[in-house]
Amino acid sequence: MHSNPTHWSIDSDKAAQLLKSHYGIGGKLTLLPGEIDLNFKVTTADKKQYVFKIAPEGVDSDYLDFQQKILLHLKGQEAPQVISDINQNPTAVFYDDQGEKRFMRLLSWISGRVWSQVNPYSETLRYRLGVSCGSLTQRLQSFDHPYAHRYFEWDLAQGIWVEAHLSLFNKKQKATLQFFIDSFKDIQEPYQALRKSVVHNDANDNNIIVSEDTIDPSIRSLIDYGDAIHTQTLNDLAICCAYAVMDVPDPLEAALPVVKGYHDSFPLEANELAFLYILIGMRLVVSVTKSAINKIENPSNEYLGISEKPAWELLQKWVTIDEDFAHFRFREACGLEPHPNYSDFVAWAKQEEVSLRGLFPTLERTSVFPLDLSVSSSWVGGEDTFNDLDYFQFKLNQIQKTNSDKLIAGGYLEPRSLYTSSAYEKYGNEGLEKRCIHLGVDFWVPPTTPVHALYEGEVVMAVNDEGEKAYGGMIVLRHTFKKVAFYSLYGHLSKKSITNVQIGEKVGNGACIGWIGTVTENGNWAPHLHFQLTLSLLGYQNDFPGVAYHKQIQTWQSLCPDPNLLFKSADLSIPSKVNSDTLIKDRKAHLGRGMSLQYQTPIHVVRGAGAFLVDQNGRHYLDMVNNVAHVGHEHPKVVKAGQLQMGQLNTNTRYLHENITRLAKRLTATLPKELSVVHFVNSGSEANELALRMIKTVTGSNQILACESGYHGNTNACIDISSYKFDGKGGSGKPEQVHIFPIPDSFRGKYRGVDTAGDYVVEVEEQIALLEQQQKKVGGLIIEPIISCGGQIELPKGFLQGAFKAIRKAGGLCVVDEVQTGCGRVGSHFWGFELHGVVPDIVTIGKPLGNGHPVAAVVCTPEIASQFNNGMEFFNTFGGNPVSCAIAHEVLEVIEEDKLQENARIVGNFLKLGLSELAKKHLILGEVRGQGLFLGVEFVNQHLQPLAAQADYMINRMKTFGVLLSTDGPDHNVIKIKPPLVFSMHHARYFLNHFSLVLQEDFMK
C-alpha cells in the first residue's frame, strides 16, 4: 500500500525553481491532482508542455526507476515520454527544506482530456480504449523489472486481503463483496495458471487521455505507471473494464467493445475469458475496500474516494449479472462461439434422428406448416388483432382445416412484436429495449394434447410461471449428450402437468410429461407448446428466458440451439428475410436517385404501432416526425374501415355513394360555415394544384403571392410556388408569375422581435403594389398557418389578417395550406388558420386526413365552387373513392373519440414548456416555438448564427435512444417535432429526458 505522501514547503514557485535548475526549462506551473506525486503542468513560453513530478519523501528510488524504465521501454508510443535532466538522468534529485532526499521527473505532456471528462462514451470509444490497453499490454510483454514483483494491494492476484476488512460494510454490501471474494477463491487454481506479464494495472478514468475531438474522439495515451505490476495479464483488461463501464444502465453490454478492442490488439486466450467477470468484480471489491479504509485513515483526501459511489453502483449491478452469461458474451466479443459446448452439440445433433411425432404421439402429424409470426409478418396484424385470442385461434383453425395432417409450427430466432407486457422491457444503454427474439419453436396444437419427452432425462424445473404473457405451466428436463448436459424446456403446459412430475424425477425417453394448457393457465396465449433447448440454465431455478434481446441474438443462438437441429424438418428452417443491404442495392438500381433515405444507416421499418415504428429486428422507434400517421400508426379502427370497404366496393365518384357525402359533411362540420364545398383529391400537391386552378378560373389571374421558404408540393405548379424548392438545391429561381414575400420569422427573419406583423404585411402590400404598377392583377396568396419546411415558423399575431385584407382588397383569393397543420394538430384549434382569427377562401388538406392512405381535399366557398364549375368537368379517377372516404371519415371519428386534439394541446404544451426550460440552461436552443404537437427548436450560437451540425448531432444521438426526429429550415438548424397525435405524456417525458442528456454531451458545449 502507498504511504500517505507529504510535500511540505514545495509550492509552484519552488517547483519552478527546481525545474529551471535541473532541467533548464522555465514556464508556467499549474498544480494537477494526484494520489502520490506532486504533479505540475508546465507550459513554456514557446507553448511546449510537460508534466513535472516531484515524489514524496521516503519514496523508494527503485520504484521511480521502475516507472521510468517502463516509459523508456514504451518510447513514448501511446505513453508519456521521459525527458532527462541537464545531466542526462531520467530521474533528478534534490534535498528539501527538511533535508530529505527527493526525486523529480519530467514527462512529455499528452494533450487531451481525461476519460472522466468525456461525454458520451460511445461504443467506438470504448472499443478504442480496449485497443489502446491491449496494445500497451502487447508492448509490455518484453518488459520486466525487479520492482514489478513486489507486494501490492492493488494487484488483483493478491486481492484476497480485502476479506479481512468486510466488517467495514453493511450486511447487503458484505454479501456482494463476499460473493466475489468466494468466487475468486474458487477459481484460484486455474487462475494462478493463467499467463502473466507486467501490466499497467490502473486504467482508471483519470489515467486515460482522450483526444479533444467531440464527435469522433480517440485514445491518446495511458498515463501513470505507478501501479504497474507483474501479474495475470488478464487483470489489466478487468481493471480497464471496471472503470470504462461505470454509470451505465447495462455494464455488461458496455464492457463488450472494450473486450473486443483489447482482443483485437492483444488476443485473449479462451481459458482467460471465463475469469473476466469475477476479476472485474474483484477490482471493484478492492476499490471500495480501499475507499472504506482511506475514509478512516485520510478523511480529508477526497481524491482517494473519488470512484467509491460509481464503483458501488456498478458492483450492485455487476453482482446481478450471471457469470456464465457474461462469459458467453465475452466469448462472442472475441469472435469465439459464445457457448463452449455449442459445436459439440451441433455435431452430436446431426447424428440424431428425432421425429416430431415424438413430441405429440397422439396427433399423428409429422410434417410442418410454417407459421410466420415475425414482426414483418402481415398474418399477425396489429396489437388488437394478435391479442384477440379468439380471432387468433380462428385464424389458426382456418390453417389447420386446410392442412389437417400438419403441425402448425415455427418461430426459432423470429423477431416478434407479440411480447407486449412490461416484463419484456428494460432500460438499457440505448434507451428502452424490448426482448423480442423467440428462442424456441412454437407448436400450435389443441389444449390437453399430451406432450412427450424426446430423450430420457431428469426433471429440473416444474413451475407455474404465472403472469400475463408468461409460460404458465413450465417443465425443464436435463439430458446429456456425450456426458455433457443439455436441457429441454416445455412452456405453456396445463397446471396439472406440473404436479404430474417431481423435481429430480427421472423420465424415460418418450414418456408423457404433461399436457398443453388452456388460455387461462398458459399465460394468456392461444394454446401451444413452446419447445426450447438450452446448453446452460444460467442460474435460473424457476424460469428461463424464452425471448431475448436482439443485440444478444448470437449469444442466445449458441446457448439455445435450434430445436430443428434434432427434427431436421425443411419447413422448420429459419426463413430468410430480405435485408437492408439488399434493399439499398435494389433502391439504387431501380428507384430515382432523388428519393433520399434518412440517416447514415437507414432504418428498415416493417411495422407501425401507435406512436412507434418498428424495424425488422423488432426495435421500436418513437416516431416524432410522422404527422401523416396522424391518429397513430396503423390505428385499428382506421385499418378496419379501409379493409372492410376494400372488400366491398371501390370505384370512382360518378356513382352515388354515401361515403363521399358523409365525409364531405363530416369535414365541413369542422370548418367555418363559409367553407362548405369539397373536392376530393389524392395528395397535398394535387390539392394545391387544384387550388391554383380555382384561383385562375375565378380571378382570371395566375399571379400568386407565396411565402419565402414555403413548400406546397411536388407538381410543376406547386414547385413554382415553393421557394423552399426553387430557391434550394437544384432549383432555378422563381417563375415570373410568382411573387415571394419574406418569411414572417420574428426570431431570425427580416424583422425581429415583438410586433413584427405590420412590417411583414407591408412586404405583402408592396408585392401587390408592384404587380399593380405592372398592370397585373393579383390572383391569390398561399401560405401555411405555421411555416413547416421554413423551420416551424409561427406567424406573428395579426400578420394573416393584414395580408388577407390586402389580397382581398386587390381582388385576390386567400388559400391556407393545412396539409401539415390541420385536423387538430395545433391543439387549441382544429385548423391552423383558426389560430389567426381568419377565414380563408380555400383550404387545402392532405397528410393527416388518411392517416397514411392517399386522400386529400380542397374546401372552398360555394361562390368559388360555382365559378370554378365553368363547364369543364372535374374528374379524378381515385379522388373521393369509397375506400379513401371510409378511411378519412374514420380518421375524423378517431380524432374526436380519442380526444386527440385535446391530447395535442396538453402534451404539446408540456413538451414546449419542457423544451423552453432546457433552452434557459442551454443557450444553443435559440427558440422553442409552435403550437400543440407541431413544434420547432432552433439551434443557434450567441450571434444567432445557425448551428446545423448541432441539430444534426442531436437527431442522430436521439436515434440511438430510439427517437426519430428531423431537421428543417433554410439553414437545416431547426428540429421539427410533429409526432402522431397519440403521442403521450409518457412519450414526451422519455423524449425530454434524452434530449436533455444529449444537450449535456461534449459536442453541444
* C-beta of 533 vs 691, nearer to ligand PLP: 691
Residues facing 529 on adjacent strands: 443
List, edge to edge, every strand of the sheet that includes 677-681: 677-681, 856-860, 842-845, 813-817, 780-783, 704-707, 738-741
**With binding defined as CB under 6 A, does residue 711 bind ligand PLP?**
yes
Minimum gap (Å) between residue 847 Cβ and ligand PLP: 6
| Only segment of 31-39, 637-645, 709-717, 864-872 that touches ligand PLP (CB under 6 A) | 709-717
| Only segment of 385-393, 679-687, 876-884, 899-907 that touches ligand PLP (CB under 6 A) | 679-687
**With binding defined as CB under 6 A, does residue 853 bind ligand PLP?**
no
Binding footprint of ligand PLP, residue count (CB under 6 A): 14
**With binding defined as CB under 6 A, does residue 552 bind ligand PLP?**
no
* C-beta of 162 vs 717, nearer to ligand PLP: 717
**With binding defined as CB under 6 A, does residue 934 bind ligand PLP?**
no
Minimum gap (Å) between residue 627 Cβ and ligand PLP: 9
* C-beta of 684 vs 970, nearer to ligand PLP: 684
Looking at 187-250, list the stretches that DSSP marks H as alpha helix, in order from N- to C-terminal side: 188-192, 234-244
Separation of alpha carbons 549 and 42, rounded Å: 50
| Only segment of 134-142, 325-333, 693-701, 814-822 that touches ligand PLP (CB under 6 A) | 814-822
Which residue sits closest to ligand PLP, CB atoms considered? 684
| Only segment of 408-416, 470-478, 518-526, 681-689 that touches ligand PLP (CB under 6 A) | 681-689
Separation of alpha carbons 512 and 501, rounded Å: 10
Minimum gap (Å) between residue 725 Cβ and ligand PLP: 11
Alpha carbon 688 to chain centroid distance? 38
Alpha carbon 255 to chain centroid distance? 18
**With binding defined as CB under 6 A, does residue 232 bind ligand PLP?**
no
| Only segment of 215-223, 615-623, 680-688, 947-955 that touches ligand PLP (CB under 6 A) | 680-688
Minimum gap (Å) between residue 915 Cβ and ligand PLP: 22
User: Which residue from 817, 890, 927, 938 is in contact with ligand PLP, where contact means CB under 6 A?
Assistant: 817
**With binding defined as CB under 6 A, does residue 846 bind ligand PLP?**
yes
Minimum gap (Å) between residue 438 Cβ and ligand PLP: 38
Q: Which residues of 872-900 are buried (b: 16+ CB within 10 A; e: fewer)?
A: eeeeeebbbbbbbbbbbbbbbebbeebeb
Phi-psi region of 730 (alpha: psi -120 to 50; beta: other; left: phi over 0): left
Contact 209, 110 (CB under 8 A): yes
Minimum gap (Å) between residue 740 Cβ and ligand PLP: 16
Contact 27, 44 (CB under 8 A): yes
Separation of alpha carbons 843 and 675, rounded Å: 8
Residue with cell 455449442: 342
Minimum gap (Å) between residue 787 Cβ and ligand PLP: 8
Separation of alpha carbons 523 and 525, rounded Å: 6
Residue type, 734: K
User: Which residue from 788, 881, 967, 973 is in contact with ligand PLP, where contact means CB under 6 A?
Assistant: 788
Task: With CA atoms as reference, report the closest residue to 836 among 788, 802, 792.
Answer: 802
**With binding defined as CB under 6 A, does residue 891 bind ligand PLP?**
no
* C-beta of 555 vs 683, nearer to ligand PLP: 683
User: Which residue from 251, 517, 608, 684 is in contact with ligand PLP, where contact means CB under 6 A?
Assistant: 684
* C-beta of 524 vs 715, nearer to ligand PLP: 715
* C-beta of 561 vs 848, nearer to ligand PLP: 848
**With binding defined as CB under 6 A, does residue 792 bind ligand PLP?**
no
Separation of alpha carbons 904 and 746, rounded Å: 24
**With binding defined as CB under 6 A, does residue 709 bind ligand PLP?**
no
* C-beta of 477 vs 819, nearer to ligand PLP: 819
Separation of alpha carbons 513 and 476, rounded Å: 10
Tell me the three state secondary structure of residue 565.
Answer: helix
* C-beta of 289 vs 627, nearer to ligand PLP: 627
Q: Find the binding residues for ligand PLP in span 154-193 (CB under 6 A).
A: none
Minimum gap (Å) between residue 685 Cβ and ligand PLP: 3
Contact 787, 749 (CB under 8 A): no
User: Which residue from 27, 523, 561, 713 is in contact with ligand PLP, where contact means CB under 6 A?
Assistant: 713
**With binding defined as CB under 6 A, does residue 879 bind ligand PLP?**
no
Separation of alpha carbons 540 and 536, rounded Å: 9
Residues near 512 by beta carbon (within 8 Å), at least 6 away in sequence? 450, 451, 452
Residue type, 450: P
Contact 152, 227 (CB under 8 A): yes
Task: With CA atoms as reference, report the closest residue to 525 among 465, 590, 463.
Answer: 465
| Only segment of 347-355, 358-366, 815-823, 905-913 that touches ligand PLP (CB under 6 A) | 815-823
* C-beta of 239 vs 845, nearer to ligand PLP: 845
* C-beta of 16 vs 721, nearer to ligand PLP: 721
* C-beta of 411 vs 684, nearer to ligand PLP: 684
Minimum gap (Å) between residue 669 Cβ and ligand PLP: 23
Minimum gap (Å) between residue 804 Cβ and ligand PLP: 18
**With binding defined as CB under 6 A, does residue 712 bind ligand PLP?**
yes
Tell me the three state secondary structure of residue 623.
Answer: strand
Separation of alpha carbons 722 and 4, rounded Å: 73
User: Which residue from 670, 820, 851, 861 is in contact with ligand PLP, where contact means CB under 6 A?
Assistant: 820
* C-beta of 690 vs 924, nearer to ligand PLP: 690
Minimum gap (Å) between residue 788 Cβ and ligand PLP: 5
Residue with cell 469465439: 336
* C-beta of 92 vs 721, nearer to ligand PLP: 721
* C-beta of 143 vs 726, nearer to ligand PLP: 726
Tell me the three state secondary structure of residue 536.
Answer: coil
**With binding defined as CB under 6 A, does residue 819 bind ligand PLP?**
yes
Contact 613, 598 (CB under 8 A): no
Phi-psi region of 177 (alpha: psi -120 to 50; beta: other; left: phi over 0): alpha
Contact 126, 261 (CB under 8 A): yes
**With binding defined as CB under 6 A, does residue 685 bind ligand PLP?**
yes
Minimum gap (Å) between residue 701 Cβ and ligand PLP: 22
**With binding defined as CB under 6 A, does residue 688 bind ligand PLP?**
yes
Looking at 684-749, list the stretches that DSSP marks H as alpha helix, in order from N- to C-terminal side: 684-699, 716-720, 723-726
| Only segment of 16-24, 308-316, 677-685, 767-775 that touches ligand PLP (CB under 6 A) | 677-685
Separation of alpha carbons 465 and 620, rounded Å: 27
**With binding defined as CB under 6 A, does residue 784 bind ligand PLP?**
yes
Residues near 563 by beta carbon (within 8 Å), at least 6 away in sequence? 412, 440, 441, 531, 532, 533, 572
Task: With CA atoms as reference, report the closest residue to 825 among 608, 630, 622.
Answer: 630
Separation of alpha carbons 822 and 847, rounded Å: 9
Minimum gap (Å) between residue 707 Cβ and ligand PLP: 10
Contact 750, 765 (CB under 8 A): no
321 by Cβ neighbours in 10 Å (0-12 / 13-18 / 19+) ranks as middle
Query: What are the grid coordinates assigned to 948, written together?
Result: 446545423
Minimum gap (Å) between residue 724 Cβ and ligand PLP: 9
Q: Find the binding residues for ligand PLP in span 581-620 (CB under 6 A).
A: none
Site residues (CB under 6 A) for ligand PLP?
683-685, 688, 711-714, 784, 788, 817, 819-820, 846
